[in-house]
Amino acid sequence: MTRARRILACAAAVLAATFALAGCTSTVSLAPADDANNPHCADVMVRLPDAVSTADRVWTDAQATASWGGPPSSVILACGVAVPGPTVLPCVAFQGVDWIVADGKNHVATVTTFGRKPAIQVMVDTSKVDFNAVLNSISIAVNGGRLPTTGDQCTAPATPSK
């Protein structure tokens, strides 16, 4: 084989490997929340873990969003969602962060920070990942990012089971 053919063969192999590896990593397409450009969201986003429970982080295409696992995603996070007011929904506390829990359909729980502005919303597919492990990891990032509190707290938050 001539030198030119070997170089061409190597280039073709590298190109094929690049496309194959690119096919393994996908970007999750999401819409940013209304207050996604809040600087406090950026403080939290840079502290989010590379993995939650058993799911690795996957890149997203929207500001102040994150995703883990999939496809489809096991966990989706958006910072800058509407700040919730008083509610009768259950509340749990992880790492000093209060979360309002709204059970959804098909094993997907939606939780939103309570008493924080901007608010963060997380959707967790509880059939794929451990709910408590996910909120524990994300709560550490929320506290590390010093997401401002509003002074509101859950009354008698439930203690998460471990």
- Identify whether the C-beta of residue 123 lies closer than 8 Å to the C-beta of residue 33: no
**pLDDT for the residue 5:** 40
- Predicted confidence band of residue 32 (pLDDT cuts 50, 70, 90): very high
pLDDT of residue 103: 74
Mean pLDDT computed over 58-72:
96
Reported as a pLDDT band with limits 50, 70 and 90, residue 1 is low
pLDDT for 34: 98
Cβ atoms 136, 95 nearer than 8 A: yes
pLDDT score at 104: 77
More confident residue, 24 or 64: 64
Query: Cα separation of 117 and 98, whole Å?
Result: 12
The sign one gets for the Cα dihedral 153, 150, 140, 74 is positive
81-121, pLDDT tens digit by residue? 999 999 999 999 999 999 999 977 889 999 999 999 999 99
pTM of the model: 0.81
Cβ partners under 8 Å of residue 26, min gap 6: 58, 71
Instruction: Name residue 77's beta-bridge partners.
Output: 66, 122
**pLDDT level of residue 49 (50, 70, 90 thresholds):** very high
Mean pLDDT across the chain, nearest whole number? 84
